[in-house]
Each structure stands twice: as C-alpha cells, then as structure tokens.
C-alpha cells in the first residue's frame, strides 16, 4: 500500500541572503507496507523518525527538500495528492496530548476529524460516539478539555480520531512514549486490532521491544539510513539478523545480553560517503569508510551492509 524508496529529506537554513548549509536528517530510507500489516521504524530518539511521519503527511516545513520515491497504492504521493488524502485515507496519531487543541472539548475535535474525513455532521457525531465506545472512553469524556484527560486517555482519543475517518493508512508516531506498561500495551493492542481489520499501520518508535510485540516487519534506522528490514520473527535470535547495528540493538535489551550500543556518528547525518555505522562497527573495513553499502535482499527484508 505504501512504498518508500531512497527517501532523503534535507533542510536548508538561510543566514544572510544565501543558503548557508544543508542538513540531511534522512539520507536514505526504504519502507514497504501492505494492507493488514504493521511495519515499525525503529531508531534512536531524535529528530529523524518523526520527519518520516511528517513527510508522508505532507507536513514538512517550507525549507525542506524531499527526494526519492513515495508511492501510495501504486501511484506517486505528490504534495497535491497528500493534501487530498490526508484526513481521509491517511490518518495520523501524534505523540502526546499536546497535539490536541487546548481550548476545545475533545469530543468536538474528534467529530471535526470525522467531518474532515468526509462524513456529514450527523454521521460524524455518530462515528465519534462509536469510536469512543470502542476505545472504552466514557460518555462524559466527550465534553472534557485536553488538560482534564490523562495521557492514556489522550492516546485513545487520538486513536479514535484516526479511526473515525475509515482511513486505510495510519501513521502512529511514538505510540508508547511516556506511558506506563498497561497503557503502552493497550495502545499497541489497538494498533494491532486496526491492522487486523484491514488497515495498514506505520509505527514509528524508539522502543524496539514494543515494536516487536505487534509488528509484522521492523525497519531499523540509524543516522539517517534504514540499515535493515526484517520480519519480527527474525528478531528472536541475534543470528536471524544481518546488520551489526541491529544485532547490537538486540543485544542491548535487558533480557538479552544487556550490552552497550555504540553509535559512531553522534553528530547526525553528515554529508560524508560511506556506511553510517562506520566508526563503531566490529566488522568494518576500508571499503566501509568510502562507499555506501548497496541494498541487498535477504529473505523477506533487506540489509545495507558490505558484509551481508
């Protein structure tokens, strides 16, 4: 349903009258998402991953340059097309309650989302009520303001807002951030339920464990590049994974070896050539410093590594 190839997003900052410098938080991102699937993009906390969500929804600021391919249902996802589709076929679930308008009751906001999704006023109110019921939100939550609801409730409200529109693609940005275990589990369960009912979910998170519990595929993101994509079940053993960074990530989990993860390029994606893991990789050779590794298909996913 959604296919992204070679996506690159860079920002130019203007100082004086001429463009001063370019910054590329995303250098090369690949992604493939089908109906009924949850694909997670996992990476360290930072600016890069949310940008993906914003790119798919056409929310990047004016000074951003996007290159690469984004295709939705086979056709190119141009800015015009995004504007037509968002809110109707592509829905967004943001990170936190701060994304809800503070002086507007949440019921009204969700009803507005339904209206924007194409329903008329009566049906919008109806969908809103049904969505609230589905996510176990009491009837009086409708008339509450965002500051009155808890983080978990806010997440459910925003999930409801995404589902009132019959959207086929849902982009969830950090669905478990700042939440306790119970709420996290619920949030992920809702997403799984949405996928099981035929929608496609793109899940962006830094929590690889959470991602593994509900995703079908996981894409690992490092310093601007998607270095590996693999099925969830390949993550059960370290050998199932090919990229050294992914293996490090897995080993870093408390229930595995609980070792350290080293990131060589702390300063963010620079303009250098070569592999992004260069400087911290146990397998690195000279070629890794000069040439960016090509994408190699492995099983159901792919890897960017000279040694795969």
Partner 1 sequence: MPNMNSCLSYLARQLLRMIVIIAVVATLAFVLTATAPLDPVTAYLGFDRMQISPEQQQRIIQRWGLDQPPTVRFTTWAKNVIRGDLGDSLVYNEPVISVIQKRFAASLKLMALAWTLSGIIGFVLGVLAGTYQHSLLDNAVRMYAFVLASSPTFWIGMVLLAVFSVKLSWFPICCAGPMGVPPDAVSWAQRLHHLILPAATLSIIGVAQIALHTREKMIDVFMSDYALYARAMGESRLGIAWWHGLRNALLPAVTLQFASLGELFGGAVLAEQVFNYPGLGQATVEAGIRGDVPLLLGIALFSTIFVVTGNAIADLLYRLIDPRIRRGEGVA
Partner 2 sequence: MNTQTIARQLPMPGIRFSLGTRRSRTLCLVIFCLTIFVGLFLWAWLVGENGLAVNFTQRNQPPSWDHPFGTDWLGRDMLVRTIKGLRISLGIGMAAALSSTVFALALGLAAATLGRHVDLVVTGMIDVVISTPHLVMLILISFSMGGGVVGIIMAVALSHWTRLARIVRAEIMQLKTADYVRLSRRLGRKPLWIARHHLLPNLLPQFLVGLILLFPHAIMHAAGLTFLGFGLPPHMPAIGVLLSEAMRHISTGYWWLAVAPGVALLFFVKLFDLLGGALRMLTAPKTSQE
Q: Which residues bind partner 2 (CB under 8 A)?
A: 11, 13-17, 20-21, 23, 25, 47, 50-51, 54, 59-61, 63-64, 267-268
Find which of partner 2, partner 1, none residue 112 binds, CB within 5 to 8 Å per kind: partner 1
Rg (CA), the chain: 20
Selected from 150, 259, 273, 300, the binder of partner 1 by CB under 8 A is 150
Sign of the alpha-carbon dihedral angle for 293, 297, 299, 300: positive
Using the minimum distance from each CB to partner 1, give the nearer residue, 111 or 288: 111
- Ranges within 16-75 binding partner 1 (CB under 8 A): 57, 59
107 binds partner 1 (CB under 8 A): no
Alpha carbon dihedral 283, 288, 294, 295, in 10-degree steps, equals 30
Q: What length is written for the chain? A: 308
For the chain, what percentages of helix, strand and coil (3-state, to nearest 5) are there?
Answer: 35, 25, 35
- 148 belongs to the binding site for partner 1 (CB under 8 A): yes
Say whether residue 101 binds partner 1 (CB under 8 A).
yes
| Only segment of 11-19, 32-40, 111-119, 221-229 that touches partner 1 (CB under 8 A) | 111-119
Q: Answer yes or no: are the C-beta atoms of 242 and 236 closer than 8 Å.
A: no
Q: Could you tell me which of 242, 187, 196, 234 has the C-alpha nearest to residue 212?
A: 234
- For partner 2, the closer of residues 222 and 281 by Cβ is 222
- Choose the one of partner 1, partner 2, none that binds residue 117, judging by a C-beta under 5 to 8 angstroms depending on kind: partner 1
Rounded Cα distance between 183 and 108, Å, is: 24
- Phi-psi bin for 268: left (phi > 0), alpha (psi -120 to 50), beta? left
Applying CB under 8 A, among 20, 21, 22, 104 the residue interacting with partner 1 is 104
Instruction: State the CB neighbour count (10 A cutoff) for residue 182.
Output: 9
Binder of partner 1 out of 102, 198, 254, 282 (CB under 8 A) = 102
User: With respect to partner 2, which residue has the nearer C-beta, 17 or 147?
Assistant: 17
**Contacting residues toward partner 1, per CB under 8 A:** 57, 59, 83, 86-88, 91-92, 94, 98-104, 112-113, 116-117, 144-145, 147-150, 161
């Amino acid at each position: 349903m959604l296919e992204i190839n070679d996506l690159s997003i860079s920002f130019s900052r203007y100082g004086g009258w001429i463009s001063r410098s370019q910054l590329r938080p995303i250098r090369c991102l690949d992604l493939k998402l089908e109906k009924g699937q949850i694909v997670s993009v996992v990476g360290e906390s930072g600016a890069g991953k949310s940008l993906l969500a914003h790119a798919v929804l056409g929310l990047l600021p004016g000074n951003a340059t996007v290159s690469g391919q984004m295709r939705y249902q086979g056709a190119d996802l141009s800015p015009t097309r995004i504007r037509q589709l968002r809110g109707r076929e592509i829905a967004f679930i943001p990170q936190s309650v701060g994304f809800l308008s503070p002086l507007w009751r949440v019921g009204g906001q969700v009803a507005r989302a339904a209206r924007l999704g194409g329903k008329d006023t009566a049906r919008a109110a109806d969908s809103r009520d049904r969505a609230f019921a589905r996510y176990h939100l009491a009837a009086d939550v409708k008339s509450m303001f965002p500051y009155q609801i808890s983080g978990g409730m806010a997440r459910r409200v925003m999930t409801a807002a995404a589902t009132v529109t019959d959207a086929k693609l849902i982009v969830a940005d950090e669905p478990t951030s700042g939440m306790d275990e119970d709420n996290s589990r619920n949030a992920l369960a809702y997403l799984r339920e949405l996928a099981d009912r035929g929608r496609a979910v793109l899940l962006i998170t830094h929590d690889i464990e959470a991602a593994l519990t509900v995703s079908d595929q996981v894409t690992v993101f490092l310093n601007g590049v998607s270095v590996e994509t693999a099925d969830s079940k390949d993550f059960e053993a370290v050998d199932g994974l090919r990229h050294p960074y992914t293996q490090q990530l897995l080993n870093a989990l408390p229930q595995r070896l609980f070792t350290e993860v080293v990131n060589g390029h702390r300063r963010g994606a620079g303009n250098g050539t070569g592999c992004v893991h260069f400087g911290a990789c146990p397998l690195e050779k000279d070629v890794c410093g000069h040439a960016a590794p090509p994408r190699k298909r492995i099983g159901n996913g792919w890897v960017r590594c000279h040694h795969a």
